[in-house]
Structure 1
Amino acid sequence: MSTTLAPAPQTAPAAAAPPRRRTRVLALPEARWALVSLVAFLAALPLDLGSAPAWTYGPLYALAYAAGGWEPALEGLRALREKTLDVDLLMIVAALGAAAIGQVLDGGLLIVIFATSGALEALATARTADSVRGLLDLAPTTATRLREGGEETVPAADLAVGDLVLVRPGERIGADGTVVEGTGEVDQATITGESLPVLKRPGDDVFAGTLNGTGALRVRVGRDPADSVIARIVTLVEEASRTKAPTQLFIEKIEQRYSVGVVVATLAVFGIPLAFGADLTDALLRAMTFMIVASPCAVVLATMPPLLSAIANAGRHGVLVKSAVAMERLGEIDTAALDKTGTLTEGTPEVTAVSPVAGGDVDEDALLALAAAAEHPSEHPLARAIVAAARARGLHIAPADDFTAAPGRGVTAVV
């Protein structure tokens, strides 16, 4: 017998996803210096607390200070040359002040916290860039260009507007363009997020990096590969990721005033008691204690690193965040409007009901077994759902002959 089911065109197996480029933690200089600072501090800590001779832990503390503090100190001095005072220099002065009054451990802890914060921010930024640039890996490196008298394989980057490109089933499209010949279903999830393939006919637009599932397509290149939709998405997100959230802008706005205020207050805590006859050592101790307490560790750790980490985490789950501003505003959302039912699905269709024709001689199981037999050669998501439903019921899936798929219509097979 024969059976026709629709819609369930055949698709070629999805091409393996290209490897995602991922920045190694220790590839970042900030992470390496922070690690050296942390290891040196942790090595010195038990010696210090255990009343070991100072010569055993002093060099370790010095290494922790130098490894974790040289970069923020340099940034602070650069800012000072521009007649500004920022938290980088303030943190370093506070740490050195702690060491000056004998609180070397406290100063080292400030340095480690500050260095770790910088490393986390650098890592989050790098991972965000990895997630975004990983989209470019979806675009094929080569394409089949049609010329008079034959075809040639060329680098996708060499395609020009007006070129005619052949895209076989299972291949990724090399450039944005328009279908001029052929019919097939294209997986556009990388661009639109749609979980099911979209039928493409002559006149329809297709995008670089999307996967052609069925049928050979001839595509007229309409846009330079460097200006493809996916390349522009990457560019826009990279540019947007450099924007600053309102909280960060606020912190930067008050940073200068805060730093100046702390310095002035520290000088006051030191100078006023001294003017009234206080002991120099006691006045210095109070001033340095005040500066340590006022050092902006919480401010440093509570601004960009959490936002950048959230953006990177979203990127690893397939969500490209436009900017830090957008991410911060997510915390204010109390209502979400979804445009279609597929938005909340898992992207994997499932058979929910089997409805035989009323009065027919085929029951649900027999109908599902026939449908699964016909769909078994197909790789379409709906076909896989039908086959999975039949297997879940323990039904026998008979072999099918003369299988053909009609894109956008269904399949035909003899069972």
Structure 2
Amino acid sequence: MPALTEATQRATVASSALPGRRRVLDLPEMRWAAAALVLFLVGLAVQLMGGPAWSWWVLYLASYLTGGWEPALAGLQALRDKTLDVDLLMVAAAIGAAAIGQITDGALLIVIFATSGALEALATARTEDAVRGLLDLAPDSATRVSEDGREETVRAADLEVGDVVLVRPGERVGADATVITGASEIDQATITGEPLPVDKAPGDEVFAGTLNGTGALRIRVDRRAEDSVVARIAALVHEAGQTKARTQLFIEKIEQRYSIGMVAVTIAVFAIPLLLGDTLQAALLRAMTFMIVASPCAVVLATMPPLLAAIANAGRHGVLVKSAVVMEQLGTTTRVAFDKTGTLTRGIPELAEIHVLTSDMTVDDVLVLAAAAEHPSEHPLGEAIARAAKTRGLRWPDSTDFVAKPGLGVSATVDGARITVVSPKGLPDNLDRADAEVVALVQQRGCTAVIVTAAARPIAVLGLTDQLRPDAADAVAAAARLTGRTPVLLTGDNETAATMLGDRVGITDVRAGLLPHDKVDAVAELQADGTRLVMVGDGINDAPALAAAHAGVAMGGAGSDLTLQTADAVVIGDDLSAVSTVIALSRRARRVVVANLIIAATFIAVLVIWDLTATLPLPLGVAGHEGSTVIVGLNGLRLLRGAAWRTAAGAT
């Protein structure tokens, strides 16, 4: 609606201008809508309890004022620009209702429209906050190194292409750049979605906002701050959101035609009988009756209760759907796309394979030595090895002389022997052909390979991989059954790991090695033929794709702040099966909406025709109007029942 769109624009401006995040809970639209709702409910209670008429009239009129002044003002401004919108007509209808004594109807109408505007403004403000939060990932300052080796702290935004920057252990990378000296591991899950830190050496690319590990790096800046990958993610989210907003133009055109038609008919209903000799009071009563019975209250309730009831039901089962529009969109889904890390997998490494290379040791012997060496390490792979040893009930001795080699591995003295746990590239000269074949086999299976040595002799190859969610395969199968099309996998991880996971969960369309803008391109390609794609992801790198897709669903347990704000729906409990269930629930809600619209349109058509062709008694007109409202409202509220969720789950 035009007034709601203007409210959204005001919220966007406010969101961009003010710092902090708590302001989204302090939007004026929310305060006015809440006040209107409270006043309406109090007035209704006083009326039902038989209070004096003046008391509940005062409360209803106060509800009119608090909830109706803003859409009325917006409608008058639109009228000044020679545009007529439904919001102004609804305010007029509410005033007309009060004029003939039906103030309860008018107050309810005011509350509905005020609440809708507040919810839209809130959603827009929170999205703008989230985009700004993404940009906060990049550090404010960086250590620039001059040609003569001097170090100076500068603003990251002032870095130029070609500058050399020092990144110390534990710092965030200040710019998209190339490593020129040093070695370390970089946690770049926020950009690529890869579950494990990536070893970096001279010649490798690093991204602004990613987190350096235990080594020091000198990097050469490749892009200015405004051109960095993290900045482009924010831009993509904003652009995708703007593209969605333009789809409302068609709705506004329909509203404009309806508004003009309703005004013309109302004037005619008043003027023609008056010209034909009817009394002023009778003509006015007929016109107000027409305005009441033609009021789209039943149409509004035909749509909102089913969708809001479905939202509430989904919320009770761990799925947050952000608006009625989103709930309606989910029901039109024709294909589902999944991210890999943190979505189909847990994003936590686990020890999957142990290959002993010597006959004088057992699996437990190797695992005890590796765990003892890795125990002081904070690297996720080391934690996975120690966790695997604990799971087996193994105890390991204390280690001494622990040394971490960034990008390579660790070494320590355990029971007098020097034990190392290193990447294969850390032992290029110490692997014979048979050992190298074992390493290659582990890597071909999509695992990260590390080698355990004792006294410089390789004794085992360990394979580590990301943990697959136990419900991943079932969730993929449910999505395929529901949409009739096999889901697609979009991931920043490598081709081998992605293909292996696709085979395990039943996905054949695998697209790997995707940066955030690549995922947006993939979403656009998938939707080019009219496919309505739901994108399911969890990381910041998924946010642009979530915004670009027909609907975006975030896995909320480990989801990034931006992703949770950008997504249209959030699975709070990380239950993948809930994705298909909420789509099925949305489809049922859409069917109820269609049924309600038919009921509402039938009542309105009959009452309007009656009023135009005969004399429709006002009490009967109000009863018919209210009766249709009650019928469609109760029909929609059926989706609040737990049985509705269970039915939707069974449909998948």
The alignment's TM-score, normalised by the length of structure 1, stands at 0.80
Question: How far off is 1:44 after superposition?
Answer: 1.8
Flag the 1:343–1:259 CA change in 2: closer, same or farther, 3 A: same
Residues of 2 paired with 1:296 and 1:400: CA distance?
Answer: 73
Superposition map of 1:272-283 within 5 A: 275=276, 279-280=282-283, 282-283=285-286
Q: What are the Cα deviations for residues 21-60 of structure 1, in whole angstroms up to 9, with x where unaligned? A: 5344442111111112122222222222223223323332
The residue type equivalent to 2:369 in the other structure is: L
Flag the 1:277–1:327 CA change in 2: closer, same or farther, 3 A: closer
Flag the 1:43–1:25 CA change in 2: closer, same or farther, 3 A: farther
The residue type equivalent to 2:50 in the other structure is: S
Question: How far off is 1:340 after superposition?
Answer: 6.7
Contact 2:24/2:122 (8 A) holds in 1? yes
For 1:170, what is the secondary structure of its paired residue? coil
Map of 2:204 onto structure 1: 204
Contact 1:23/1:127 (8 A) holds in 2? no
Map of 1:12 onto structure 2: none
Q: What are the Cα deviations for residues 352-401 of structure 1, in whole angstroms up to 9, with x where unaligned? A: 343434x7232222222211111112222221111111122222132222
Question: How far off is 1:157 after superposition?
Answer: 2.5
Q: What are the Cα deviations for residues 284-303 of structure 1, in whole angstroms up to 9, with x where unaligned? A: 3421322324686359969x
Flag the 1:175–1:48 CA change in 2: closer, same or farther, 3 A: same
Map of 1:79 onto structure 2: 78
Flag the 1:328–1:21 CA change in 2: closer, same or farther, 3 A: farther
Map of 1:65 onto structure 2: 64
Flag the 1:380–1:333 CA change in 2: closer, same or farther, 3 A: farther
Question: How far off is 1:86 after superposition?
Answer: 1.2
Contact 2:178/2:219 (8 A) holds in 1? yes
Question: How far off is 1:210 after superposition?
Answer: 0.7
CA RMSD of aligned residues (A): 3.3
The residue type equivalent to 1:65 in the other structure is: Y
Map of 2:230 onto structure 1: 230
Flag the 1:335–1:291 CA change in 2: closer, same or farther, 3 A: closer
Report whether the alignment pairs 1:350 with 2:350.
yes
Higher RCO, 1 vs 2 (CA within 8 Å, ≥6 residues apart): 1
Question: How far off is 1:154 after superposition?
Answer: 2.5
Superposition map of 1:209-288 within 5 A: 209-244=209-244, 248-270=248-270, 275=276, 279-280=282-283, 282-288=285-291
Superposition map of 1:151-162 within 5 A: 151-162=151-162
Superposition map of 1:53-202 within 5 A: 53-147=52-146, 148-202=148-202
Contact 1:143/1:165 (8 A) holds in 2? yes
Q: What are the Cα deviations for residues 305-335 of structure 1, in whole angstroms up to 9, with x where unaligned? A: 99xx9xxx9xxx9xxxxxxx99987655444
Map of 1:398 onto structure 2: 397
Contact 1:177/1:207 (8 A) holds in 2? yes
Flag the 1:192–1:328 CA change in 2: closer, same or farther, 3 A: farther
The residue type equivalent to 2:124 in the other structure is: T
Q: What are the Cα deviations for residues 147-166 of structure 1, in whole angstroms up to 9, with x where unaligned? A: 33531222322323332111
The residue type equivalent to 1:164 in the other structure is: V
Map of 2:300 onto structure 1: 297
Flag the 1:171–1:73 CA change in 2: closer, same or farther, 3 A: same
Residues of 1 paired with 2:88 and 2:155: CA distance?
Answer: 50
Question: How far off is 1:264 after superposition?
Answer: 3.0
Map of 2:382 onto structure 1: 383
Question: How far off is 1:245 after superposition?
Answer: 5.6
Flag the 1:206–1:142 CA change in 2: closer, same or farther, 3 A: same
For 2:348, what is the secondary structure of its paired residue? coil
Flag the 1:284–1:266 CA change in 2: closer, same or farther, 3 A: closer
For 1:209, what is the secondary structure of its paired residue? coil
Flag the 1:285–1:404 CA change in 2: closer, same or farther, 3 A: same
Contact 1:64/1:108 (8 A) holds in 2? yes
Question: How far off is 1:222 after superposition?
Answer: 2.3
Residues of 2 paired with 1:71 and 1:295: CA distance?
Answer: 23
In structure 1, the gaps of 5 or more residues are: 1-19, 318-324
Contact 2:194/2:341 (8 A) holds in 1? no
**Farther off after superposition, 92-101 or 117-126:** 92-101
For 1:71, what is the secondary structure of its paired residue? helix
Flag the 1:269–1:363 CA change in 2: closer, same or farther, 3 A: farther
Kindly indicate which of the two structures has a greater share of residues assigned to strand.
2
The residue type equivalent to 2:397 in the other structure is: A
Question: How far off is 1:116 after superposition?
Answer: 0.7
Residues of 1 paired with 2:398 and 2:359: CA distance?
Answer: 23
In structure 2, the gaps of 5 or more residues are: 1-18, 320-324, 415-652
Map of 2:32 onto structure 1: 33
Question: How far off is 1:167 after superposition?
Answer: 0.4
Contact 2:35/2:63 (8 A) holds in 1? yes
Contact 2:183/2:201 (8 A) holds in 1? yes
Superposition map of 1:37-48 within 5 A: 37-48=36-47
Question: How far off is 1:120 after superposition?
Answer: 0.5
Superposition map of 1:336-347 within 5 A: 336=336, 344-347=344-347
Residues of 2 paired with 1:252 and 1:177: CA distance?
Answer: 46
Question: How far off is 1:351 after superposition?
Answer: 1.9
Contact 1:91/1:296 (8 A) holds in 2? no
Flag the 1:293–1:344 CA change in 2: closer, same or farther, 3 A: closer
Residues of 2 paired with 1:26 and 1:155: CA distance?
Answer: 32
Residues of 2 paired with 1:104 and 1:225: CA distance?
Answer: 57
Residues of 1 paired with 2:62 and 2:341: CA distance?
Answer: 58
Contact 2:36/2:67 (8 A) holds in 1? yes
Contact 1:25/1:31 (8 A) holds in 2? no
Contact 1:140/1:209 (8 A) holds in 2? yes
Flag the 1:245–1:24 CA change in 2: closer, same or farther, 3 A: closer
Flag the 1:397–1:127 CA change in 2: closer, same or farther, 3 A: farther
The residue type equivalent to 2:171 in the other structure is: E
The alignment's TM-score, normalised by the length of structure 2, stands at 0.53
The residue type equivalent to 1:97 in the other structure is: G
Map of 2:448 onto structure 1: none
Contact 2:271/2:283 (8 A) holds in 1? no
Question: How far off is 1:136 after superposition?
Answer: 1.1
Residues of 1 paired with 2:396 and 2:272: CA distance?
Answer: 91
Residues of 2 paired with 1:240 and 1:80: CA distance?
Answer: 31
Question: How far off is 1:124 after superposition?
Answer: 0.7
Map of 1:360 onto structure 2: 359
Residues of 1 paired with 2:162 and 2:385: CA distance?
Answer: 41
